[in-house]
């Protein structure tokens, strides 16, 4: 059972990818989308959400793209998920059940579990995820991946 939305997983993957590939130049959204086999339009809204949250920085121009707005060790998976969740609050949701059971028992239990889950994600930094990707050679030769074009 997946506890994170696809959008949250995509956001974490995008930030880690940018952290790995943004040197010496920012990562173009087109390259990022290609590495994750996504149409760029699906990724662009997530990237803009992360820019507004101060996690990524957009760089304009012909060699523009995205880079981290803070050090890798200062960005947690919890920060990324909260940014995506905050942006998703504007999306329409089905009506929530309204009952005393939900209000007094279920909501508090689910909120406590969500806080514990996010607390665990706060312990995982982008630096940790980059190290794990490096030891597993997820992208193989980083320079070769950076040279890849669509």
Residue 103 DSSP one-character state: I
Element (H, E) at 135: helix 126-135
How much is the pLDDT for 148?
30
How much is the pLDDT for 10?
92
How does pLDDT run across 97-121, given as a tens digit for each residue?
667 887 888 889 989 999 999 999 9
All structural domains of the chain = 6-147 (1.10.10.10)
d(CA 40, CA 145): 17
How much is the pLDDT for 3?
78
Rounded mean pLDDT of the chain?
85
Is residue 145 over pLDDT 60?
A: no
Instruction: Name the more confident of 119 and 143.
Output: 119
d(CA 150, CA 129): 26
């Amino acid at each position: 059972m997946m506890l994170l939305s696809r959008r949250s997983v995509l956001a974490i993957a995008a930030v880690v990818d940018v952290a790995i590939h943004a040197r010496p130049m920012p990562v173009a959204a087109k390259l990022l989308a290609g590495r994750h086999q996504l149409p760029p339009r699906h990724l662009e809204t997530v990237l803009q959400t992360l820019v507004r949250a101060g996690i990524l920085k957009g760089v304009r121009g012909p060699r523009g793209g995205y880079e981290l707005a803070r050090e890798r060790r200062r960005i947690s998976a919890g920060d990324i998920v909260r940014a995506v969740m905050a942006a998703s609050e504007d999306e329409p949701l089905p009506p929530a059940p309204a009952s005393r059971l939900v209000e007094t028992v279920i909501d508090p239990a689910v909120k406590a579990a969500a806080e514990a889950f996010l607390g665990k994600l706060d312990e995982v930094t982008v630096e940790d995820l980059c190290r794990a990707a490096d030891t597993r050679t997820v992208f193989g030769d980083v320079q070769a991946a950076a040279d890849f074009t669509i």
